[in-house]
Amino acid sequence: MALRQIVNLPEPILRRKAKPVSKFDKDLQTLIDDMIETMREAPGVGLAAPQINISQQLAVVEYAENEDDEEEDNEEAPSRPKKLFVLINPEITKASEEKVIGVEGCLSIPGLLGEVERHKSVQVKALNRHGIPVKLKTEGWMARIFQHEIDHLNGVLFTDRATEVWVPKPDEVVDLD
């Protein structure tokens, strides 16, 4: 495994629609493992292939959802195990009408945060790392991360959707993806 370099704006690949993955070979498995390692090292809660300069419909997500996802900074909540997802050629098949506002940042846009409205829950159809179709139902912050990653695969960045962006204060820490 190896760390890959994360590219930042204005790298044009971040604005391109990524190509679907068609070969589930050894190189793909290496790429997925490298992306997981790169995401953990960053650290981030998600990483899409265009962010490491590869135009493929592939993203990884790793996040521990708290029971009280709605409540901010609930430090009393027991920490849950992190869940790791590999999303290949993902598509949102259903999205809740209800939307929620949250603060996002991006590993490819250092030094900016923004307030972004997202669907509260989404259903996603994707392939796993072995090419097997999977259906995922996500809610809350996990659903937000999935939407952020799928946007990356379509050349869309959180700043396109943000109602407001700002430079974070030193104590303002947000999960990046």
Label the pairing between strands 58-63 and 83-95: antiparallel
Tokens of 172: 């303002």
- Quote the CA–CA distance of 39 and 167 in Å, as a whole number: 22
The span of 1-9, 21-29, 101-109, 162-170 binding Zn ion (CB under 5 A) equals 101-109
Smaller CB separation from Zn ion, 88 or 106: 106
171 in helix, strand or coil?
Answer: coil
Mind telling me the catalytic residues? 149
- Cross-sheet strand order for the sheet of 164-166: 99-105, 113-119, 164-166
CB of 51 to Zn ion, least distance (A): 6
The span of 22-30, 105-113, 125-133, 162-170 binding Zn ion (CB under 5 A) equals 105-113
CB-CB contact of 145 with 63 (8 Å)? yes
In 57-79, which positions are buried (b, 16+ CB within 10 angstroms) versus exposed (e)? bbbbbbbebbeebeeeeeeeeee
116 binds Zn ion (CB under 5 A): no
| Residue selected from 60, 106, 142, 145 as contacting Zn ion according to rule CB under 5 A | 106
CB of 108 to Zn ion, least distance (A): 5
- Quote the CA–CA distance of 117 and 104 in Å, as a whole number: 10
The position carrying tokens 């490298």 is 34
Amino acid letter for position 172: E
Smaller CB separation from Zn ion, 34 or 177: 177
The span of 52-60, 65-73, 99-107, 132-140 binding Zn ion (CB under 5 A) equals 99-107
CB of 56 to Zn ion, least distance (A): 16
By beta-carbon distance, which residue lies closest to Zn ion?
106
DSSP bridge partners of 61: 46, 85
CB of 76 to Zn ion, least distance (A): 29
- The residues of the shown chain that bind Zn ion, judged by CB under 5 A, are 106, 177
